[in-house]
């Protein structure tokens, strides 16, 4: 593997990702980076996100919506994807879930790099609106 130099842009981008739990997309990161480096381009953001992902320093999340989201927190945890607002929330992983244990047991001959639990539904803010919509559909 070719060792890439750690550029100033890459260092700042990684620091931004490691300091947030909002799982931002490239556009949000671009706006945030421009506060520190006004000359940075969106292409530079995408290029550095790919490098950081390939180096295993961040995770790319593709579970909700068409735009990739990114996670700078690498400790084991799952993700909750809100179907209402599109936000992604961490699910703390204090101990392996039965699902994770089943996956590992059933794939005994495989070399697993990680097992992640993903949940989909409505966050507390969107839940009330979703329940009202479901009630309205049931009344028809």
pLDDT, tens digit, for every residue of 124-135? 989 887 665 655
**CATH 1.10.10.10 residue spans of the chain:** 1-72
Q: Which CATH number is associated with domain 75-140?
A: 3.30.1490.190
Q: 62, 69, 51: which is closest to 5 by C-alpha? A: 51
Total residue length of the chain: 140
Both tokens of 99, joined, read 């699902």
Model pLDDT for residues 6-35, shown as the tens digit of each residue: 789 999 999 999 999 999 999 999 999 999
Both tokens of 13, joined, read 């981008």
Q: What is the model's pLDDT at position 63? A: 73
The residue assigned the tokens 């929330």 is 89
Q: 54, 56, 66: which is closest to 26 by C-alpha? A: 66
pLDDT exceeding 70 applies to what percent of the chain? 87
pTM above 0.85, yes or no: no
Q: Which CATH number is associated with domain 1-72?
A: 1.10.10.10
Q: What is the model's pLDDT at position 4? A: 57
How far is it, in rounded angstroms, from Cα 69 to Cα 83?
Answer: 15
């Amino acid at each position: 593997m070719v060792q890439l130099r750690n550029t100033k842009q890459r260092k700042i981008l990684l620091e931004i990702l490691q300091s947030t739990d909002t799982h931002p997309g490239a556009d949000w990161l671009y706006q945030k980076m421009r506060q520190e480096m006004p000359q940075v381009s969106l292409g530079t953001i995408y290029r550095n996100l790919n490098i950081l992902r390939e180096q295993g320093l961040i995770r790319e999340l593709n579970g909700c919506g068409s735009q990739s989201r990114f996670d700078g927190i690498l400790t084991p945890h799952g993700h909750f994807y809100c179907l209402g607002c599109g936000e992604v929330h961490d699910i703390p992983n204090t101990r392996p879930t039965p699902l994770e244990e089943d996956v590992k047991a059933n794939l005994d001959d495989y070399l697993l790099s990680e097992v992640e639990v993903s949940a989909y539904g409505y966050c507390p803010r969107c839940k009330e609106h979703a329940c009202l919509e479901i009630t309205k559909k049931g009344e028809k």
